[in-house]
Amino acid sequence: MQNTPNNSRFFLRSRAAAQIQDVAVSVSNTNRQKAVIWLSDVLWTVEQLAEQPHLGVSYPMPSPQLHSLRRFRVRNYRPYWIYYRPFASGNGIEVFGVVHEKQNIGEQLEAALEP
């Protein structure tokens, strides 16, 4: 669990953390500075969502465990979406995935449920 500057919180599921890391490593192979910017933009977007959990749009999934997911684009990286669920308290979010729009979104999000 991470705290943002305004004490809103977010939790990255391990699959989401791995997705973020995979993109960063892939980008850093050709441009290290761009990878740093990618990470900064993902973190900035997650922090904004943690502070305002209903910014994103509803993204219905058939799986009951993924009910009430929302999605929002990563700042400056339009093909990447953050899939998350607001905490019941309204004070933060749980991030299930950071997925490129051309990937199988359902498959990626179902994988987030695996331990």
Just give the CATH number of 2-111.
3.30.2310.20
C-alpha pair distances (Å), 17 with each of 7, 13, 23, 27, 55: 21, 6, 10, 16, 21
Q: What is the DSSP string of the chain?
A: -EE-TTS-EEEE-HHHHHHHHHHHHHHHTT-HHHHHHHHHHHHHHHHHHHHSTTSSEE---SSGGGTT-EEEEETTEEEEEEEEEE-TTSSEEEEEEEEETTS-HHHHHHHTT--
Any idea where the domains of the chain sit in the sequence?
Answer: 2-111
Supply the pTM of this predicted model.
0.89
Tens of pLDDT, residue by residue over 27-78, are 999 999 999 999 999 999 999 999 999 999 999 888 888 888 999 999 998 8
Q: Is the pLDDT of residue 100 over 60?
A: yes
Higher pLDDT, 113 or 50: 50
pLDDT at 114: 79
